[in-house]
């Protein structure tokens, strides 16, 4: 059996079986979800082992017929970028199972079932090689997250869940229109075949068409990222979601947007993407600075981390639209970093919420005395988040800024402001929460990490250090794939020319 199919099928099977587990025994659901998500993670590790790092193209391809007319195929494969994103999803799912162990007490069975369904949807989004299949997974992942926020969230959960659903839905229907349009022009949903037609010049778009199609895709992705000014759903969704929901949302779901831009929007519509690049870069920079400034004034820890996500994801978008190898590598690396670091921050904030039942910064103080290990873990995640050298975010941000500087030095200059601001808001929050006078309420409610929580924290911190110290092990396959994306955006540039001009087939074939 194909390994990739296994990694995708395990969560789906897990979801169905989780539905059949007895409601009366929540423990069975917990252990089942843990076992299954660990098995999926092991499967994806094996994927990493078998992955041929010297290739830029798709690997572990599974291509099965699904619907005959119009032809839609169940076509999945991994490349150097999607491989890491799949690993990120499968790595974080068991962690989410563990942090929800005591936190989720009502409707436990449904919670873990939805978590596994979410994993299925996310893995599918990154692996799909058929535009239609991609859209299916894209929407499927929406449903479990909606329920995760809406059922197990905090006070304003319903508002947040509905807002989240509607924002994403509004973006994705336009993408659906664009996908159907592409199909009608290309006669296929197969992504590789469409790229091939573009490269060989058999499929040509007028600049106007290309721009509209690009925007239809891009808006759907930009909402998910979220790019300023489409980010307003994010603070609500993050703050109201249960800890596991926040972690999955921040760490993996937002990457669906940036992955989509990198994997679909750029290669499909290169000249429109290039033409929009300055505007998008400016929006990304506004997002970086705006997110950081708003984070600084948040009285709520979770909201602070949520706004820091807006800022960090701005770096990813900026890196992508620098159209440089360094920028793209940095963007992908930053996607992974943000997944680990922000995931860790949300997890740790969640652990503190479980203890003190408050997210307000002012309700804390002196936690470092009461729970030194928890504070240490939080400190490491904080330092990683602000981009301290030897921790993961530093590498990503550095690459992005370097790439941005190559494209336009002013961009890099403004964006680096975000790094400075990150240090301000994160360290200030850390100071107010962990130092200062220890109140009685905090002391009595703040035991240190227990064994289960250590199991959550250690892998995350290990990854931060590893990715910060030895980035080469991650960046090698990434570089191959991003180079291919760049090549695709170069080769297709002639499409800017008039429709009647002969396509430059030779150039595109010569890669």
Partner 1 sequence: MPVSPMFNPGDLICFLPEIILTAMGTFIMVLDPLLNRRESKVYGTLSLATLAAAIVAAVYAYSQPGPAFGGMLIVDGFATFFRVLVLGVGILTILPSFSFLRRQQAETSEFHALLLFSIAGQCIMAAANDLIIIFIGLEISSIASYILAGYLRDDKRANEAALKYFLLGSFATGFFLYGVALIYGETGSINLSVVRAVVAGPDAPLPVMVGLAASLMFVGLAFKVSASPFQIWAPDVYQGAPTPVTAFLSAGPKAAAFAIFLRIFMTAFAPIGEAWAPLVWASALLSMTIGNFAALLQTNVKRMLAYSSIAHAGYVMVALASRSEIGTAAAMFYLAAYALMNVGAFAVVSHLSGKGEQYQSIEDFAGLAQKQPLTAAMLSIFLLSLIGVPLTGGFFGKFYIFKAALESHLVWLTVLGLLNSAVAAYYYLRLLVMMYFRDPGDAVSAAEPLTPALSAALILPAIGTLFLGIFPGWVLDFAGRSSSLVK
Regarding 161 and contact with partner 1 (CB under 8 A), the answer is yes
User: Is 311 in contact with 270 (CB distance < 8 Å)?
Assistant: no
Element (H, E) at 129: none
Q: How far is the CB of 23 from partner 1 (least distance, A)?
A: 8
Segment contacting partner 1 (CB under 8 A): 141-149, 281-289, 382-390, 479-487? 141-149
Q: Which of residues 116-135 bind partner 1 (CB under 8 A)?
A: 135
**Chosen residue from 143, 282, 455, 497 binding partner 1 by CB under 8 A:** 143
Q: Which is nearer to partner 1, 41 or 147 (CB)?
A: 147
Regarding 140 and contact with partner 1 (CB under 8 A), the answer is yes
Q: Which is nearer to partner 1, 173 or 493 (CB)?
A: 173
Regarding 67 and contact with partner 1 (CB under 8 A), the answer is yes
Segment contacting partner 1 (CB under 8 A): 2-10, 64-72, 293-301, 340-348? 64-72
Q: How far is the CB of 173 from partner 1 (least distance, A)?
A: 4
Burial profile 459-472: b = 16 or more Cβ within 10 angstroms, e = fewer: bbbebbeebbeebe
User: Is 122 in contact with 7 (CB distance < 8 Å)?
Assistant: no
Regarding 217 and contact with partner 1 (CB under 8 A), the answer is no
Q: How far apart are CA 184 and CA 65, in angstroms?
A: 19
User: Is 254 in contact with 307 (CB distance < 8 Å)?
Assistant: no
Residue with tokens 């789906």: 12
Q: How far apart are CA 318 and CA 335, in angstroms?
A: 12
CB atoms near residue 194 (< 10 Å): 22
Q: How far is the CB of 170 from partner 1 (least distance, A)?
A: 4
Whether residue 402 has a cis bond before it, omega within 30° of 0: no
Segment contacting partner 1 (CB under 8 A): 3-11, 62-70, 252-260, 299-307? 62-70
Q: Which is nearer to partner 1, 157 or 338 (CB)?
A: 157
Q: How far is the CB of 383 from partner 1 (least distance, A)?
A: 38
Q: How far is the CB of 135 from partner 1 (least distance, A)?
A: 7
How far lies 203's CA from each of 175, 194, 196, 506, in Å? 19, 8, 9, 15
Segment contacting partner 1 (CB under 8 A): 2-10, 65-73, 192-200, 301-309? 65-73
Q: Which of residues 241-260 bind partner 1 (CB under 8 A)?
A: none
CB atoms near residue 63 (< 10 Å): 13
**Chosen residue from 96, 174, 295, 463 binding partner 1 by CB under 8 A:** 174
Question: Angle CA(121)–CA(124)–CA(127) in degrees, nearest 5?
Answer: 160
**Chosen residue from 180, 379, 438, 465 binding partner 1 by CB under 8 A:** 180
Q: How far apart are CA 125 and CA 110, in angstroms?
A: 22
Segment contacting partner 1 (CB under 8 A): 27-35, 61-69, 95-103, 411-419? 61-69
Rg (CA), the chain: 22
Q: Which is nearer to partner 1, 180 or 427 (CB)?
A: 180
Q: Which of residues 20-59 bind partner 1 (CB under 8 A)?
A: 23
Sign of CA dihedral 462, 467, 469, 472: positive
Regarding 150 and contact with partner 1 (CB under 8 A), the answer is yes
Per-residue binding letters, 359-388, with partner 1 (x by CB under 8 A)? ------------------------------
Size of the site for partner 1 (CB under 8 A): 32
Q: Which is nearer to partner 1, 32 or 135 (CB)?
A: 135
Q: How far apart are CA 24 and CA 26, in angstroms?
A: 6
**Chosen residue from 74, 91, 111, 165 binding partner 1 by CB under 8 A:** 165
Q: How far is the CB of 143 from partner 1 (least distance, A)?
A: 6
Regarding 5 and contact with partner 1 (CB under 8 A), the answer is no
Regarding 74 and contact with partner 1 (CB under 8 A), the answer is no
Tell me the two tokens of residue 251: 């760490």
Closest CA to 198 of 219, 176, 220, 213: 213
How far lies 366's CA from each of 10, 299, 339, in Å? 44, 17, 28
Q: How far is the CB of 166 from partner 1 (least distance, A)?
A: 6
Q: How far apart are CA 90 and CA 39, in angstroms?
A: 9
User: Is 241 in contact with 207 (CB distance < 8 Å)?
Assistant: no
Q: How far apart are CA 458 and CA 454, in angstroms?
A: 6
**Chosen residue from 15, 60, 111, 147 binding partner 1 by CB under 8 A:** 147
Residue with tokens 């109201």: 240
Strands 59-67 and 72-78: antiparallel
Regarding 173 and contact with partner 1 (CB under 8 A), the answer is yes
Q: Which is nearer to partner 1, 148 or 198 (CB)?
A: 148
**Chosen residue from 17, 45, 46, 170 binding partner 1 by CB under 8 A:** 170
The contact set with partner 1 (CB under 8 A) reads 23, 67-70, 107, 135-136, 139-140, 142-143, 146-147, 150-151, 157-158, 161-162, 165-166, 169-170, 173-174, 176-177, 180-181, 183-184
């Amino acid at each position: 059996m194909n390994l990739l199919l296994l990694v995708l099928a395990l969560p789906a099977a897990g979801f169905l079986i989780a539905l059949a587990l007895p409601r009366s025994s929540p423990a069975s659901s917990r252990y089942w979800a843990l076992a299954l998500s660990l098995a999926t993670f092991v499967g994806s590790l094996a994927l990493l082992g078998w992955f041929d790092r010297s290739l830029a193209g798709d690997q572990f391809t599974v291509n099965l017929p699904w619907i005959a007319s119009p032809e839609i195929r169940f076509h999945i494969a991994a490349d150097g970028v999607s491989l890491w994103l799949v690993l990120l999803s499968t790595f974080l799912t068991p962690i989410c199972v563990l942090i929800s162990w005591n936190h989720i007490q009502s409707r436990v069975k449904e919670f873990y079932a939805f978590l596994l369904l979410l994993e299925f949807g996310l893995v599918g989004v990154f692996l799909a090689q058929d535009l239609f299949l991609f859209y299916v997974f894209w929407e499927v992942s929406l449903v479990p997250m909606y329920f995760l926020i809406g059922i197990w969230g905090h006070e304003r959960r319903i508002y947040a869940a509905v807002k989240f659903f509607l924002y994403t839905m509004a973006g994705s229907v336009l993408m659906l229109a664009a996908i159907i349009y592409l199909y009608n022009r290309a006669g296929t949903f197969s992504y590789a075949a469409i790229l091939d037609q573009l490269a060989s010049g058999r499929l040509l778009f007028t600049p106007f068409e290309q721009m509209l199609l690009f925007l239809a895709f891009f808006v759907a992705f930009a909402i998910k990222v979220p790019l300023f000014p489409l980010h307003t759903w994010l603070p609500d969704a993050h703050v109201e979601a249960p800890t596991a929901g926040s972690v999955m949302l921040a760490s993996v779901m937002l990457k669906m947007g940036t992955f989509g831009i990198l994997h679909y929007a750029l290669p499909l519509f290169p000249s429109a993407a290039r033409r929009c690049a300055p505007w998008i870069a400016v929006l990304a920079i506004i997002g970086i600075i705006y997110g950081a400034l708003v984070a600084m004034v948040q009285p709520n820890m979770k909201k602070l981390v949520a706004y820091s996500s807006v800022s960090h994801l701005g770096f990813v978008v900026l890196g992508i639209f620098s159209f440089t190898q360094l920028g793209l590598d940095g963007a992908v690396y930053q996607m992974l970093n943000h997944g680990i670091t922000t995931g860790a921050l949300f997890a740790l904030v969640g652990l503190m919420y479980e203890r003190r039942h408050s997210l307000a910064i002012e309700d804390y103080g002196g936690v470092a005395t009461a729970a030194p290990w928890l504070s240490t873990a939080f400190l490491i995640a904080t330092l990683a988040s602000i981009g301290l050298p030897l921790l993961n975010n530093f590498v990503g941000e550095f690459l992005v800024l370097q790439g941005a500087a190559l494209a336009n030095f002013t961009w890099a200059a403004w964006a680096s402001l975000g790094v400075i601001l990150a240090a301000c808001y994160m360290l200030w929050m850390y100071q107010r929460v962990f130092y200062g006078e220890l109140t009685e309420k905090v002391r009595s409610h703040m035991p240190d990490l227990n064994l289960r929580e250590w199991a959550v924290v250690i892998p995350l911190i290990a990854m931060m250090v590893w990715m910060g110290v030895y980035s080469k092990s991650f960046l090698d396959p990434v570089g191959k794939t991003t180079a291919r994306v760049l090549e695709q955006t170069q080769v297709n540039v002639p499409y800017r020319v008039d429709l009647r001009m002969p396509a430059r087939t030779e150039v595109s074939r010569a890669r």
